[in-house]
Structure 1
Amino acid sequence: MTDLDKGFPGGGGAEPPRLETGSMPFFPAPPAPPPPPAVPAPAPPADAAPAAVKGRVTIEDQVIEKIAVLAALEVDGVAESAARASWGATGEAGGPVPAASPVAGRPLGAPRPHHEVSLELSLTVAYGCPVMAVAEQVRAEVARVVGRMLDVRVVAVDIAVEDVRPPAARNAANAR
């Protein structure tokens, strides 16, 4: 009988089987469990500085108008844009409040109802672009950008296409 038949490596006899140095067992151990999730840092003591500082943020109409104009100019086919914003309330037909109304002439820092805004844009569209498609793209883009950047609900984007211009590349070539 050989050593392999007895199941003992080495010289046979009563010596127990042993693993060779650096070898792996035939059946490896199960994988280690994942590490526990990170524990959030404890809250600061109550006598520490307050987490939120009180105050108010006022967003001027010019800021809303500039954001709307920049968003409109990102749409292909828009050559030029201008905007006018009004906060909160809407008129009888759901449009923006007329400029002469007391709501539209509200003083600086006055509360803005419901965080809603209405916009009026005037566009100049590049010649050759489908005017209605450009206007709809502008409406969607302006509502998305203004709503996201200012965390307000855009209730209306009224668009007036006031002019058509040759594309900018042709204007540059004609200027030479």
Structure 2
Amino acid sequence: MSITGILIAAACVGIVGIFVGLFLGVAGIKFKVEVDEKEEAVLAALPGNNCGGCGFAGCSGLAAAIAKGEAAVNTCPVGGEEVGKKIAAIMGVEAEASERKVAYVHCQGDCERTTTDYDYYGIKDCRMMSFVPGGGPKSCNSGCLGFGTCEQACPFDAIHVENGVAVVD
């Protein structure tokens, strides 16, 4: 192998690299996606929980809807009135009074109000109850089982099992 073959190969690779780099640079400019600055500012003001409690697919979906005028500025149930006021300032509108929304467990099948059909000695996990006949040891098959799977899954420490029923704080 001669030095000329190596130089020719290096030149070819260098020329192809320059061509690909220029092509990607032009394509990046040509196909650039325009981003609404208000949408980005609203997204930064939202708490970032991506819970979907507002009815949109996460905080980015809500931010896009607010920027387009399809949702009210105080739609975020997690942020509450404080976040609503920040977003109203960004959008240049006045925030309406918002009502605080609180989640609660409808089932009141605690240890005193419901009976147990059998003693369960398996894994204490509500997700596992879908495999158990009858949906769990409590007589109510659609109520809270009280094993605390929701408590473990909640990253905000807002759910606690008290007397066999999940309570949302």
Q: Which structure dedicates a bigger proportion of its chain to helix?
A: 2
Q: Which structure dedicates a bigger proportion of its chain to strand?
A: 1
TM beyond 0.5: no
What is the TM-score with the length of structure 2 in the denominator? 0.26
Q: Which has the higher contact order (CA 8 A, sep 6+)?
A: 1
What is the TM-score with the length of structure 1 in the denominator? 0.25
